[in-house]
Amino acid sequence: MHKNIMSPYHPNQRLSLKHDLCTVRFIGLINETPCLGVEWDNPLRGKHSGTHNGIKYFTCLSPSPTCASFIPLTKPLRWDEGQSFLSALRAKYEGEGHFAPVRISRSKVVEEVGVEEFAKLEGRLAGSRDLVLDGMGISHAFSGEREKGEVGMLCARVEHLDLSGNLIEGLGEVVKLVDALPKLRSLVLARNRFDVSLGWEGGMCPQVRELELRETFFPVERVWDFVGEVFPNVRVLGLGDNGFVNIKGNGNTQVQTVDFSGNGFRSVSDAIEGVMDPIQVVRLQRNCIAEVREMTPRPLVTELDLRYNDISDWEFFNDIAKVFPNLKHLRTAGNPLYNSLFSAEGAPLAPEDGYMLTISRFPNLETLNYSKVTPKDVLNAEVYYLNQIAKEIALVPPADVGRVKERHPRYSALCAEYGEPVLTLQKPEPTGAAARLIVITFTLGKKVWEEALPRSFDMYEVYGIVGKRLKISPLKLKLVWHMSEKDPIGRDEVHTGPEWWDSSDEEGDSEKAWVRREVELMPSTRPLGTCIDAREASVSVELRTR
């Protein structure tokens, strides 16, 4: 009896229950009850991941812990019925009633596809180049040669087809369908779950140039074989959100743009070491990438998207510049590196400083995070970077200078372009009481005086000392620290996009282009040493207007 109940089902079968799509992963008994174990396309639809009472019955492709369910077969189930491509096309673009009853005698009535209805559908699709049949319950290409002929007539001009989220099990059905669309250039198969074990029957779709396989959980070891054999002329390939952590080999493909976004790659080499030329555009946003690792240089790659990864150091970008020496378009926003930037002297840096330090590492860059990089941006970024390297060198003993230069591969090229910077040697680190003091030069108009204040003093105490010196209430004072870092004039002007530093119109006149950065020291319980991270500082005293 159980066998009869379970006989209509087979592994990897695609089903739909109240428009929720799923794939059969298990057929058998659980506690003597015949059940189906299914993996839902919606990863939040289920209750587990194939485990019941601590026993693992099946494995899901999705990493979600709530993508699976057990469905008892003891009661009849009303599965949504699958349909052919043509039926879905009619349902989407014609609506109900496409079968017209025809009376051929008093007692005989036949039902055929109405010529008028077909003409209307053909008229609606005439000249149409885009078809979207997302979530239409398509389970097979055609129900006979007649349907194939009708599809060929109705879709003769179709160039873009979206079949996302359907019930097609075998890739052979996809090949059959595409074979009937001679002008098809772009095919979207996202959110389908194909049974790769069924093969693809040796078919080939040479007309397709763009293929989207996002969220199909395609077996990583078969993906390049499939693309190379069935879609040999694909130039743009989407493989996002497939749970890939490593991918090797690319078969015989002509892919130029590959989208690996939303996977689990931890290094750049994990994603593209096996992707051979002529690859030119690589999209790796929303992965877990933190390093590059050893890999073959890719001089043909001109565009790289690394947004929202785990990049936290500049060594990563130094390595990227070596692997992709001709990068023109780079996207890096959303990485931890830009949230905790410090200068060579330990002063905090703004995110726009980080963007300058990024630009300076890629001499051919034309855009960063979709913003155009102008020659003036490059000039400012490279000069700023060179000065930062010089400060870092000045902070280390002579024996370590070589190591600092090794950490900055562009140092020699920048020196050749702008001249070697003058190094200001760091004074010996003070010890004892001197190390716990900050010597501050205060200025109010023509009044100038020095105070050696303990780092442990909070800012209320500092304000009190200055107020007592001037015989003015501390509430009426404002203290502004003039840092050694410099900003370009006009930095605070409001504009959209990344805030680049700007050189002056007179590029040689650096005094007019840069001003010392100012930071207001607010009265608070914060220790002075956490507000000023230097041993000496210049602070101006201003009178508050209210």
Cβ 316 vs Cβ 290: under 8 Å: yes
Give the separation between CA 364 and CA 329, rounded to whole angstroms.
9
Q: Please, are residues 232 and 206 in contact by the beta-carbon 8 Å criterion?
A: yes
| In 352-506, beta strands by DSSP E | 367-368, 371-372, 437-444, 447-454, 477-488
Q: Is the pLDDT of residue 158 over 70?
A: yes
In this predicted structure, the answer to whether residue 60 has a pLDDT above a threshold of 70 is yes
Cα angle vertex 225, ends 219, 226, to 5°?
A: 75
Q: Is the pLDDT of residue 99 over 60?
A: no
Tens of pLDDT, residue by residue over 207-257, are: 999 999 999 999 998 999 899 999 999 999 999 999 999 987 666 689 999
pLDDT in tens, 397-434: 889 999 999 999 999 999 999 988 876 555 555 555 55
Least confident of 92-106, 387-401, 444-458, 459-473: 92-106
Task: Show the tokens assigned to 435.
Answer: 């190390």
pLDDT at 68 over 60: yes
249, with CB counted inside 10 A (0-12, 13-18, 19+), is: middle
Give residue 62's pLDDT: 94
Q: Residue 499: what pLDDT?
A: 46
Whole-number Å distance between alpha carbons of 293 and 323: 10
Q: How far is CA 38 from the centre of its chain?
A: 30
The one-letter code for the residue type at 289 is I
* Residue ranges of domains in the chain, CATH in brackets: 13-80 (2.30.30.190), 83-94+118-335 (3.80.10.10), 340-424 (no CATH), 434-486+515-543 (3.10.20.90)
> What's the Rg (C-alpha) of the chain?
33
- The average pLDDT across 68-89 equals 93
The first and second tokens of residue 400, run together, are 């370590």
pTM for this entry: 0.74
Neighbours of 315 (CB within 10 A): 12
Distance (Å, rounded) from C-alpha 186 to C-alpha 407? 45
Q: What is the pLDDT of residue 329?
A: 98
Q: Among 527, 501, 510, 531, which Cα is nearest to 519's?
A: 531
The rounded Cα 453 to chain-centroid distance in angstroms is 48
